[in-house]
Amino acid sequence: MQEWTTVIKPKNRLLDLKLKELWQYRDLIIMFVKRDFKTMYKQTILGPLWIIINPILTTLMQVLVFGNIANISTDGMPQFLFYMAGNTMWLYFSGCLTKTSNTFTANAAVFGKVYFPRLVTPISIVISGLISFGVQYVIFLAAVFYYTLNGVIQPNVMVLLTPILVCELALLGMGCGIIISALTTKYRDLAVLVTFGVQLWMYGSAIIFPVSSLPEKWASLLMLNPVVPIVEAFRYAYTGHGTFSIPYLGISGLVTLIILFIGIVIFNKVEKTFMDTV
């Protein structure tokens, strides 16, 4: 009896996600990661140097505007370190969200020619974003080292949570992004709102101000934003200042898993018919 290596059959069940296929296509994920990094800085003058320039210029501008002109509190942290910590985490999250939000429209030509699990694309985007994050994280660590030597801050054992915090941000960004990507196959104007919406989200994510500067009622409400407990925990781990809350981190993790699950289900459903609408 002849054995078949590939079986093509219709997918009828909503939760038939076939996530095991992603492991079989791991080489394709690696190839897409390399492609994403190369095309990101193709035909640019400074190339990968933008990975360093972007967070530093953003941080310096925030120090000038929010730290010195607006005189917003940084909860006892050095201003540069406070904003650098927020930007390091936020730039990775926002990058995951915005780049995965156009998965279907940006890859329609490839999707229409050959089969592979469509989740390969957003996963490769999240992984390739780790390269930029890694470089910016090293710059942040250099600043932490400088201020620690001068006795200004005191990192603590919570730095060991960094991989978990980064992973949670990645999953949250991908979950939100693939939901938007699935919806933009029918409603193109959502793509226009993504950049604007992400900017608004940043102002509500304690990137430019600490949670401790708010009244208790508003601080508790703000901590329900799944990004805020992560950013605050990251700052607390490396500076000893900030709002570290295990319950809110737990809520953030639960919200992340729910959003990711909903995103994968919707993404999986749309991928079967998106070529008719893109």
- Domain assignment present for residue 87? The answer is yes
> Quick check: 10 pLDDT over 70?
no
Higher pLDDT, 189 or 198: 198
209 in any annotated domain: yes
pLDDT bracket for residue 42 (50, 70, 90): low
In a domain, 94, yes or no: yes
Is residue 147 a contact partner of residue 235, using CB atoms and an 8 Å limit?
Answer: no
Q: Are 103 and 122 in contact (CB under 8 A)?
A: yes
Read off the tokens for 48. Answer: 């990968």
Distance CA 120, CA 269 (A): 15
Q: Which of 72, 227, 77 is nearest to 155 (CA)?
A: 77
In a domain, 11, yes or no: no
- What is the per-residue pLDDT for 101? 87
Mean pLDDT lowest for which of 68-77, 168-177, 243-252?
A: 68-77
State residue 119's pLDDT score: 85
The answer to whether residue 28 scores a pLDDT higher than 90 is: no
Structural domain for 259, as ranges: 32-38+45-272
Which comes out higher in pLDDT, residue 18 or 186? Answer: 186
Report yes or no on 277 lying in a domain: no
| Residues of the chain above pLDDT 90, percent | 41
CA neighbor of 82 nearest in space, from 96, 91, 72: 72
| pLDDT tens digits for range 109-148 | 777 677 777 888 889 889 988 988 998 999 999 999 999 9
* Higher per-residue confidence, 59 vs 104: 59
Which of 31-40, 71-80, 222-231 is modeled with the greatest confidence?
A: 222-231
What are 65-88's pLDDT values in tens digits?
998 888 888 888 899 999 999 999
In a domain, 257, yes or no: yes
Pull the structure tokens for residue 194. 């993504």
Confidence at residue 148, expressed as pLDDT on a 0 to 100 scale: 93
Out of 10-19, 74-83, 193-202, 266-275, least confident range: 10-19
Is residue 175, in this structure, part of any structural domain at all?
Answer: yes
Cα three-residue angle 86-253-258, rounded to 5 degrees: 120
In whole numbers, what is the pLDDT of the chain averaged over residues?
84
Number of structural domains the chain divides into = 1
Query: Does any domain span residue 71?
Result: yes
